[in-house]
Structure 1
Amino acid sequence: MNIALWIVQGLLAFMFISAGMMKSFQYEKVKTTMPWAKDASKGFVAFVGVSELLGGLGLILPWATDIAPVLTPIAAIGIAVIMLMAAVFHARRAEYSGIGMNIILLALAVFVVIGRF
């Protein structure tokens, strides 16, 4: 079970750190690749990016370093909340193609929450 949790944590961390870096530091690229970013302010996109970046780091660092390991499942809860809100956001905008990935990432984050608590 521990190996499965580490694999899921690594995949989630990779996805969220890379997405967070792009949203935080490459706003123009985000505007061209993500339709919702055209309608959002630069500050909102950066906020989402920093949240994803910190969440991705929180999935790995606390548990790996054994410094406040309770922060890992808390980070997974934060990731799950972000994915739930993203699914609602995309549903309201009728962007149904991205909701499936939001639900998959939500399920993986919930798996980490349950496994690490």
Structure 2
Amino acid sequence: MNVALWVAAWLLAAVALLGGVTKAFVPKERLAAAEGGGWTADVGTGFVKTLGVLELLAAAGLLLPAALGVAPVLVPVTAVCWVLLMIGAMITHGRRGEHRFVALNLVYLALAAFIAWGHFGPEPFTG
């Protein structure tokens, strides 16, 4: 179980890192022109950059606390926060009729829920 939780955490951290770098450092206009990024045209630049920073923090929070043995409870807490973020993403993409992205966000939500369940539930997060 621990190996599955680590694999899930690494996969989700990679997604968070990629999304975070993109939102934090790519100009909003370029994001808005990309497939699935149209929602950025409807919000402020600060909001997009803030989401990017939160995703970068999530990438770190899914791996570093357990890897370093410092406050490993932050891993499932981060996973729960990711679930909430994905609910918002699913609502946003759903309102825009972007059902493919809703499905993708559901996969990310499921990974995060698995991580949270695994570490709050039957398996302590060990290195």
State TM-score, norm by structure 2.
0.87
Which one-letter code corresponds to 1:108 in the other structure? L
Distance in structure 1 (CA, Å) of the matches to 2:30 and 2:3? 35
- State the 4+ residue runs in structure 1 displaced beyond 3 angstroms: none
Counterpart in the other structure of 2:68: 65
RMSD of the TM alignment (CA)?
1.1
Q: Which deviates further from its counterpart, 86-95 or 3-12?
A: 86-95
- Quote the Cα distance in structure 2 between the aligned partners of 1:43 and 1:31: 14
2:42 and 2:100 mapped to 1: Cα distance?
18
Is residue 39–residue 92 contact of structure 2 (8 Å, CA) maintained in 1? no
Deviations 1:14-58 (A, max 9, x none): 110111011001124322211111222111111111111111110
Deviations 1:42-75 (A, max 9, x none): 1111111111111111000001101001100000
The structure richer in helix per residue is 1
Say how many residue pairs are matched: 117
Distance 2:30 2:7 in 1: 29
> Which of residues 39, 48, 51 is equivalent to 1:48?
51
Structure with larger Rg = 2
Report the equivalent of 1:8.
8
- Residues 50-104 of structure 1 deviation map (CA, whole Å, 9 limit, x = unaligned): 1111111100000110100110000000111100111011112222221000101
Aligned-residue sequence identity (percent) comes to 40
Structure 1: tracts of 5 or more residues without a match: none
